């Protein structure tokens, strides 16, 4: 026959387990709820970042457009002038290409005189002639 001390000890352990289970169950439910909320928020942030990236690409990646009509203006192009302008702004061919909305290889070929820009591109290059170093840096950072 068990003594009263061991019976009391077993009963205390049983009640303690029961109490712990009740408290832990509440915490588990709350934790699961928080995890679901966090997962939903992560999905929402991901969706919003994607939308922001698309909008940024559409808005900021557009090349600088000239205020003059390329057909009406008598704009000239010289490879040396393009190189001088790029050097004055302190930009690499890749950065200048971003501002002009063309590829870096186009800038390289224009500067070497291998190819010539189209009329619309000449108008864009003419619009870039009037910007300062600070403005060029700001536009690049905005892109």
- Domain coordinates in residue numbering, the chain: 1-61, 79-142
What is the C-alpha separation between 126 and 45, in angstroms, rounded?
Answer: 41
64 with 124: CB under 8 angstroms?
Answer: yes
Give the H or E element holding residue 43. Answer: helix 4-60
Q: Is the pTM of this model over 0.75?
A: no
Identify which of 92, 82, 107, 84 has the alpha carbon closest to the alpha carbon of residue 137: 92
pLDDT one-digit tens code per residue, 15-33: 999 999 998 998 999 999 9
What spatial distance separates the first Cα and last Cα of the chain, rounded to whole Å?
A: 85
pLDDT one-digit tens code per residue, 84-102: 988 888 888 899 998 888 9
Determine the topology of domain 79-142 in CATH: 434 Repressor (Amino-terminal Domain) (1.10.260)
């Amino acid at each position: 026959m068990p003594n009263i001390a061991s019976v009391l000890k077993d009963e205390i352990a049983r009640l303690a387990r029961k109490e712990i289970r009740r408290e832990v169950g509440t915490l588990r439910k709350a934790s699961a709820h928080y995890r679901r909320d966090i997962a939903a928020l992560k999905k929402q942030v991901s969706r919003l970042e994607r939308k922001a990236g698309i909008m940024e690409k559409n808005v900021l990646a557009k090349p600088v457009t000239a205020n003059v009509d390329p057909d009406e203006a008598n704009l000239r192009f010289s490879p040396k002038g393009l190189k001088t302008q790029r050097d004055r702004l302190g930009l690499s061919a890749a950065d200048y290409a971003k501002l002009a909305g063309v590829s870096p290889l186009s800038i390289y070929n224009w500067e070497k005189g291998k190819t010539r820009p189209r009329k619309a591109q000449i108008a864009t290059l003419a619009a870039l002639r009037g910007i300062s170093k600070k403005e060029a840096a700001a536009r690049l950072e905005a892109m």
